[in-house]
Structure 1
C-alpha cells in the first residue's frame, strides 16, 4: 500500500495539530509547517514515536513574501511527493479597520490569501499532472458574511471559500479534489491571539479535534464545503442570513464581536 504524505501549514497548534495527529494515526507520513520550530519538533517526535511514521519539519513564516515558494522548493529538493495539501495557517484580529495597524492587516492578507493561493497553485499543478491529490483549504463560516470589527479577516475567508469552490469545479473531470472547511468558533489559540475570546461569538466553541476530523473526512470524501462546529442557534442564524436585511445582520455581527469585559 502506498503511503500518502500530507503537507499541513499552521501545524504547531489548534486545528492544524489535530490534522497532523489524524493523518499520522492512519500510518501516513507528514510534512508539517509553522513558525514555531520547538512545537513542530515536539509534534514530530510524538507522532514518529507513536505511529512509526516519518515527519518532516519546515519552519517558515508564511506571511513573508517568498515563504510559500521556498516550502515547495524544499519539498522538491527532498524528493518528497505530496498527496494531500492542507492549507490551515491563518490568523485574525479584532478592531475597527481604520484603527488597526495596517501592517497587521497586510500580513493577514499575505498569510490567509497570498500564501494559500501560491501553495495551492504550485502543488495543484503536480496533482493535475499525476491526476491524483486532495487539497483542503481552511476557511471559516465568517466567509459567508461581512464582519464588522474583523473586516479584513472575514473578507480573506470569503476569498478562500470562493477560490476553493471555483477550482473544485475546474477540476471536475480529474481525480483531484478541493475542499473548503468552514468552522465556526473553535477552541484554539485563534480566539486569544485575535482578541475574540472575550466576545459573544466565542462564548461556546467547538473542539479543534472535532473540526479537524470533519474537515479531514470531508477532504477524503471530496466534498466541496464542510461546515463544522456550529451550535443549533448558530445554524439557525446562518440559515437566515440570505433572507435577512444586510443592515440588521451587520449590526448583529458587530455586537457579537464586541469585547465583553469581565
Structure 2
C-alpha cells in the first residue's frame, strides 16, 4: 500500500462556521483532513471537502466529554499518521446572567471550550514532538482580552486558551512544533443564535466578519508560525490594542453594553 503523500490536518468544530472554513483551507492547500463535530452537518461538510481532492475522515463525537475526546484521539491514531496540523476550534457560548444560567450549560461550556482543548492537545502533542514538526492552532477570541459580563464563562474560557497557547508555545522553543492562537471578533456564523445572543448589540451587528476570511487569516498565521493573530476586520485589532491600556473594570463596563440581553434595542 502506498503511504499518503499529503500531510494530515485535524480540525474540531468543523461542521460549520470558522472550523468548516479552516478545514476547507487545509484541504485546498494540500492537506488531507480529519474533521470532528457533534452534529449531523458534519456529514455534508465531509462530502463538500472531498470535492477538493483531499482524503476526508469525519468523526462525530461529543468533545464536551472525556470519552468523546478519547474517541477522536483513537480515530487519529487509526490513520497511522501524525497530524502535521491540529486546529482546536470546537466551542460554544452561553449568554445571560451567570447566577440565572443553567449550571449544566455553564459546565458543558467549560468542558468543551477548555477541558477538551487541553485534553486533545496533550494527546496529539507528544507525537509531533517525537517527529520534530507540527502546528497547533487554538481558536480563542477577542473576548479573551477582558471580562465578559453576560458571557462570563465564555470570555474566561477564551482567556484561558490564549494564555494556554502562549505558555505551551514558549515551552516548545525550537522543537519544530509551534502554537498559534486565533482571536476572531464577531463573525457571521451560527454562534450568536446558538448562544441566544441575538438580542444583544453584538448579536444584532450587521457587519460581522466573514468566517472564510477569519479562517484564511488563522491558516496563514499558523503556517507562518506566528504566536497570535487577531482575526477579522481592523475594528477587532483596534479593540484588542486599546484593551491594553484599560483597567479590567472599564473593559467589563464597555463589554456589558455589547453583551447585555436586550442591548440590541
What TM bracket, shorter-length normalisation? Answer: over 0.9
**Is residue 155 of structure 2 the alignment partner of residue 136 of structure 1?**
no
Aligned partners of 1:198 and 1:260 also within 8 Å: yes
The more displaced of 99-108 and 237-246 is 237-246
- Deviation, 1:166, is 0.5
**Is residue 46 of structure 2 the alignment partner of residue 44 of structure 1?**
yes
Q: Give the match for residue 197 of structure 2.
A: 196
Q: Give the match for residue 240 of structure 1.
A: 242
Matches within 5 A, 1:56-67: 56-67=57-68
* Number of equivalences: 259
CA RMSD of aligned residues (A): 1.6
**Is residue 5 of structure 2 the alignment partner of residue 2 of structure 1?**
yes
Q: Give the match for residue 161 of structure 1.
A: 162
Aligned partners of 2:33 and 2:57 also within 8 Å: yes
- Deviation, 1:43, is 1.8
Q: Give the match for residue 180 of structure 1.
A: 181
Q: Deviations over 1:164-202 (max 9, x none)?
A: 000111111211000000001111111111122332224
- Deviation, 1:70, is 1.7
Q: Give the match for residue 22 of structure 1.
A: 25
Instruction: Supply the distance in 1 between the matched residues of 2:191 and 2:264 (Cα, whole angstroms).
Output: 19
Aligned partners of 1:6 and 1:85 also within 8 Å: yes
Q: Deviations over 1:107-132 (max 9, x none)?
A: 00000001000110011110001001
- Deviation, 1:228, is 1.1
Structure 1: gaps (5+ residues)? none
Aligned partners of 1:5 and 1:81 also within 8 Å: yes
Aligned partners of 1:27 and 1:51 also within 8 Å: no
Instruction: Specify the SS of the correspondent of 1:98.
Output: coil
Matches within 5 A, 1:19-168: 19-36=22-39, 38-48=40-50, 50-168=51-169
Instruction: Supply the distance in 2 between the matched residues of 1:47 and 1:244 (Cα, whole angstroms).
Output: 43
- Deviation, 1:261, is 5.5
Instruction: Supply the distance in 2 between the matched residues of 1:61 and 1:137 (Cα, whole angstroms).
Output: 18
Runs (4+) off by over 6 Å: none
Instruction: Supply the distance in 2 between the matched residues of 1:91 and 1:130 (Cα, whole angstroms).
Output: 32
Structure 2: gaps (5+ residues)? none
**Is residue 220 of structure 2 the alignment partner of residue 217 of structure 1?**
yes
- Deviation, 1:205, is 0.9
Q: Deviations over 1:108-166 (max 9, x none)?
A: 00000010001100111100010011000000011111101111000011110000000
